[in-house]
Amino acid sequence: MQVNSDTVGALAFDKENGLLPAIVQDNTTRVVLMQGYMNAEALERTMATGRVTFFSRSKQRLWTKGETSGNVLQLVRIDADCDRDSLLIQATPTGPVCHTGTDTCWAQANEGDFIDHLEATIQDRRDHPSESSYTTSLLRSGINKVAQKVGEEAVELVIEAKDDNKDLFLGEAADLLYHYLVLLAAKGYTLEEVREVLRQRHR
DSSP string, 111-150: T-SHHHHHHHHHHHHHHS--TT-HHHHHHHT-HHHHHHHH
Which residues are CB-contacts of 91 (< 8 A; sequence separation ≥ 6)?
24, 25, 26, 27, 33, 52, 73, 74, 75, 76
pLDDT tens digits for range 41-63 = 999 999 999 999 999 999 999 99
For the chain, give the percent of residues with pLDDT over 70: 96
pLDDT of residue 3 exceeding 60: no
For the chain, give the percent of residues with pLDDT over 90: 80
**Mean pLDDT, the chain, whole residue set:** 92
pLDDT of res. 16:
75
The answer to whether 28 and 92 are in contact (CB under 8 A) is yes
What pTM, to 2 d.p., does this model score?
Answer: 0.66
pLDDT of res. 6:
55
Phi and psi dihedrals of 143, rounded to 5?
A: -65, -35
pLDDT of res. 54:
97
Query: What are the residue ranges spanned by the domains of the chain?
Result: 2-93, 114-202
pLDDT tens digits for range 127-164 = 999 999 999 999 999 999 999 999 999 999 999 999 99
pLDDT of res. 4:
55
**Mean of the pLDDT values across residues 109-125?**
88
What is d(CA 158, CA 173) in angstroms, rounded to the nearest whole number? 9
Domain 2-93 annotated CATH 3.40.50.150: no
pLDDT of res. 126:
96
Judged by average pLDDT, the poorest of 4-8, 89-93, 150-154, 182-186 is: 4-8
**CATH class held by domain 114-202:** mainly alpha
**Mean of the pLDDT values across residues 110-125?**
89
When comparing pLDDT for 79 and 12, which is higher?
Answer: 79
Phi and psi dihedrals of 46, rounded to 5?
A: -60, -45
Helices (runs of H) and strands (runs of E) counted in the chain: 6, 7
What is d(CA 76, CA 66) in angstroms, rounded to the nearest whole number? 16
